[in-house]
Structure 1
Amino acid sequence: MLYFLIGCVISGAIAGGLGRLILPGRQEIGWFATIAAGTVAAAVGTGIAYLLGFTDKAWLVLVVQLLLAVGCVAVVSNMSGSKKSRS
């Protein structure tokens, strides 16, 4: 379980960073929010890959994680942007 969490944080940091690069425009979120969004995407992406039965194909797992990371970064960025626009 500990190795899974460490792996999620490491792959989440990478996926979150790549997600920010892929997402067009400027994201007004910090590095912690990027890593957190990527970690959630990595954990959920691994779970989805396990449920779909392609955990033996690492590149498919990474594609799922990256797609989810782009979505998570977009959601966190929109939540952060909506707070700033209210002020």
Structure 2
Amino acid sequence: MEISGIISAIVIGLVIGVLGRLVVPGRQHIGILWTILVGIVAALLGSALAAGFGVADTKGPDWIEWFIQIALAALGIAALDRARVRH
């Protein structure tokens, strides 16, 4: 993977992670690094799911793919926040 691909993954992960955090109500007790990691994983899984459902490549913005990615990020952030609060 080239450096531009790594930087792109971090930026996309940050955006998806932050949007996921905005969806989850209340204050989350996780740091920005966890937000980025959850966002990267959610972006990758969301793209794979969108491709599996056949909605990854549409004309114009891929709203359904973005919705899937943000929903996965919100689920990941909520789960990680609950796990960290217990400890």
Same fold (TM over 0.5): yes
Counterpart for residue 75 of structure 1: 79
2:12 is matched by which residue type in structure 1?
A: S
What RMSD, in angstroms, separates the aligned Cα atoms of the two structures? 1.7
Q: Deviation digits for residues 11-64 of structure 1, max 9, x if unmatched? A: 221111011111111100000001111111001000001111111131111111
Structure 2 stretches of 5 or more lacking a match?
A: none
TM-score normalised to structure 2 length: 0.83
TM-score normalised to structure 1 length: 0.83
Instruction: Tell me which protein shows more helix as a share of its residues.
Output: 1
Q: Are 2:51 and 1:50 equivalent residues in the alignment?
A: yes
Q: Are 2:13 and 1:9 equivalent residues in the alignment?
A: no
Identify if the C-alpha distance between structure 1 residues 82 and 72 changes in structure 2 by more than 3 Å, giving closer, same or farther. same
1:20 is matched by which residue type in structure 2?
A: R
Structure 1 stretches of 5 or more lacking a match?
A: none
Q: Are 2:70 and 1:66 equivalent residues in the alignment?
A: yes
Percent identity reads: 35
